[in-house]
A and B are shown apart, each in its own frame.
Chain A
Amino acid sequence: MPEPLTYAFMQRALIAGILLSAVAGYFSPFIVQRRLAFLGSGLAHAAFGGVALGIVLQFDPILTALPFTIIVGVIIVLIRDKTELAGDTAIGILFAVAMALGILLLSRTQQYTGDVMTYLFGSILAVQPTDLAWATGLGVMTLVCAFWWPTWAYATVDERLARVDRLHVKRIELALVVSVATAIVVSAKIIGILLVSAFLVLPGATARLVAHSFAGMTAWSCAFAIGSAVIGLLGSYYTDLPSGPTIVLLQAGIFFVIAAFTRR
């Protein structure tokens, strides 16, 4: 067994890293093909408001951030559908509001707010059994979602065709937004709010460069995400670098290398 894996904290980090990166790798192709990269970033920042609410109310921040971020995601979809505003405008408005709310709440509390830094930058090496339980729950949710992969993929390629075929495309989009919001919140403490959107975009973007089918893109995306997490985590141990940024930079490095050598 490699030396780092003899430590319990590294074992937990590795399990959490594999679980969260598999989840991100699964949703990433949908985010990339539906051009929702900014949604991932927006929801991650919105999660900050929910985390701040939990800290102020002295609740587990995940319990407040989860409904908060899901509601923000649903509001973004509703604003886009019910007004003539584009989706990115709705995201820009909501994530600024959520961030502002979070900062405002934290500025008025007398309590210790050091936890905020954990959520902003993540701490995969400090994964606790409770965090692992959340990550496992997220993995189970994703397995359930995989059951709907064929219909979600079909609604992604041509929404209009899917509507005529009586697929509930709005429900599918909402389910995707809720799933991504859940993945972001559960990942926030481990990966960090500022980096989690990279987990949701880079694997799918890299997979798109090499895959010729959507099934292949999904498989490659999961493989890139999991591989980067494992190599990045072990690499960060040996190089004494922070794990989250190491994994993200590794993902980005793979993307740029493949992009440089891929011809279309």
Chain B
Amino acid sequence: MTPAIELENVSVRYGEISALRDLSFSVPQGAFLAIIGPNGAGKTTLLNTLTGIARPTRGTVRVLDKDPASLDGDAVGYIPQVKTLDRHFPARALELVVTGLRPRWPWRLRAADRAAAMNALERTGAAHVAERPLSALSGGELQRVYLARCLMRPSKLLVLDEPGAGLDLAGAAAMHHVIEEYIADHDATAVMITHDWEGARNHASHVLLLNKHVVAFGPAGEAATEQRLLEMFGYTGHLAHTHGDNDA
């Protein structure tokens, strides 16, 4: 089976700055990949490369067996970091969800679109914020709204840029559940940047430890070992105490 994502010797440079160096890995279809790395590790650059926003300086990237830049907007469901949204834009959550159907801002909401958006918001546990202005949403509520937006137009690839930021424990667990359900329902592949190591180990099928280059890649239990996390961050938080890993 063709991998959903395949990178061969991919490097990305911004002028003199090397953002990514010589990345090679492939992600099978139906996988749930968590990307973990310190700040400045090139995580967002990698997502930009996968979504076709950025071009690699060297190497080849194939996403769903295509050059990412040639993918239709329909092919990728995307959840950006909450900070990219203009929170003072005069709009309700429902309107943002409806843009998941088509990349146009609605003049007015059609009944069918409204019903579909409400259904998606219910699945992400955010139906109660449907009529709220964007400026009144918390970070966690906005993440759920974005997730609902992705449910409106199921894609074969779901790309999430720190979707857990701002979510409480229950919210993060619900989000992981919705992503897993999304993958199963739509035969999709998901790629998620996260700083939640534990969530990644428990929910993702694959983990990529990234620090401008591939530190480790593979099934979650094998790649995100305590020893590797310690080497990369110099710190593993409470993982050592809660899991008692001994995988150095």
Which residue of B has the minimal Cβ distance to A212?
A: B90
A154, A160, A208, A216: the one contacting B84 at CB < 8 Å is A160
Q: Enumerate chain A residues within 8 angstroms of B56, measured Cβ to Cβ.
A: none
Contact mask for chain A residues 44-73; partner B; CB cutoff 8 A; 1 contact, 0 none: 000000000000000000000000000000
Judge whether A213 and B90 touch: CB under 8 Å: yes
The contact string, 1 if C-beta is below 8 Å from chain A, for chain B 74-91, is: 001010100011101111
Q: B86 to A158, Cβ gap below 8 A? A: yes
Q: Determine, out of B98-106, B217-225, B232-240, the stretch whose residues face the partner at the interface.
A: B98-106
Q: Which residue of B lies closest to A211 (CB)?
A: B90
Which B-chain residue is minimally distant from A218 (CB atoms)? B107
Say how far A109's CB is from chain B's closest CB, in angstroms.
Answer: 45
B90-126 vs A: 1/0 string, CB under 8 Å?
1110011001000111111000000000000000000
Across the interface, which residues of B come within 8 angstroms of A149, CB to CB?
105, 107
Name the residue of chain B whose CB is nearest to the CB of A35. B86
Known: A159-B84, A163-B53. A215 touches B107 (CB 8 A): yes
Complex contact A161–B84 (CB within 8 A)? yes
Q: Decide if A223 is an interface residue (CB 8 Å cutoff).
A: no
Asked if residues A154 and B99 are in contact (CB atoms below 8 Å), the reply is: yes
- CB-based contact A157/B105 at 8 Å: yes
| Contact-residue size bin, chain A (C-beta under 8 Å from the other chain) | 20 to 34
Measured CA separation A159–B72 after assembly (Å): 17
Inter-chain CA distance A162–B105, complex, in Å, is: 10
Task: Please give, as numbers and ranges, the residues of chain B lying within 8 Å of A213 by CB-CB distance.
Answer: 90-92, 95
**Known A164-B78, A208-B90, A214-B90; contact A150-B84, beta-carbon cutoff 8 A:** no
Asked if B143 CB lies within 8 Å of chain A CBs, one says no
Contact check: which of B53, B72, B91, B159 meets A214 at CB < 8 Å? B91
Are B104 and A150 in contact (CB-based, < 8 A)?
Answer: yes
B51 is an interface residue with CB less than 8 A from chain A = yes
Q: Is the CB of B80 within 8 A of A158?
A: yes
Q: Sorted from nearest, which 5 A-B pairs have the closest CB atoms? A: A153-B105, A150-B104, A165-B103, A165-B73, A166-B73
A56 and B53 alpha carbons, distance in the complex (Å): 46
In the complex, A163 Cα to B71 Cα: how many Å?
12
Contacts A150-B105, A166-B103; A158 near B84 (Cβ below 8 A): yes
Q: Are A164 and B105 in contact (CB under 8 A)?
A: no
Are B92 and A212 touching (Cβ within 8 A)? yes
Task: Tell me if A33 and B86 are in contact (CB < 8 A).
Answer: yes
Chain A residues within an 8 Å CB radius of B91: 157, 213-214
Complex CA–CA separation, A158 to B52 (angstroms): 17
Judged by DSSP, the binding face of A is: helix
Q: Is the CB of B80 within 8 A of A161?
A: yes
With both beta carbons as reference points, the residue of chain A lying nearest to B47 in the complex is identified as: A164
Pick 17 A–B contacts, CB within 8 A, sort by A: A33-B90, A149-B105, A154-B104, A156-B89, A157-B86, A157-B105, A160-B80, A160-B84, A161-B85, A164-B53, A165-B78, A166-B103, A212-B92, A213-B90, A214-B105, A215-B107, A215-B108
Contact of A216 among B76, B89, B90 (CB under 8 A): B90
Which residues of A are found within 8 Å of B99, using beta-carbon distances?
154, 161
- Excluding A154-B103, A156-B105, 14 further A-B contacts by CB distance (< 8 Å) are A151-B105, A156-B86, A157-B89, A157-B91, A158-B80, A158-B86, A164-B52, A164-B53, A164-B73, A164-B80, A164-B159, A166-B73, A215-B106, A215-B108
- Per the bound structure, the CA–CA distance linking A212 and B92 in Å amounts to 8
Q: Which residues of A contact B140 (CB under 8 A)?
A: none
Bound together, the chains give a CA A40 to CA B92 distance in angstroms of: 28
Q: Is the CB of A161 within 8 A of B89?
A: no
B85 x A158 contact (CB < 8 A): yes
Are A167 and B103 in contact, with the CB atoms below 8 A? yes
**Is A217 positioned at the interface, with any CB of B under 8 Å from its CB?**
yes
Of the candidates A162, A211, A213, A215, the one having the most CB atoms from chain B within 10 angstroms of its own CB is A213
B89 touches A33 (CB 8 A): yes
Tell me the chain A residues, 180-219 only, with Cβ under 8 Å from chain B.
208, 211-217
Inter-chain contacts of A150 with B (CB < 8 A): 104-107
Q: How far is the CA of A15 from the CA of B133 in the complex (A)?
A: 37
Q: A160-B84, A161-B84, A166-B73 are in contact. Are A151 and B103 (CB under 8 A)?
A: yes
Most buried by B among A33, A153, A165, A214: A165
Bound-state CA distance A211–B107 (Å) is 13
Shortest CB distance A261–B (Å): 18
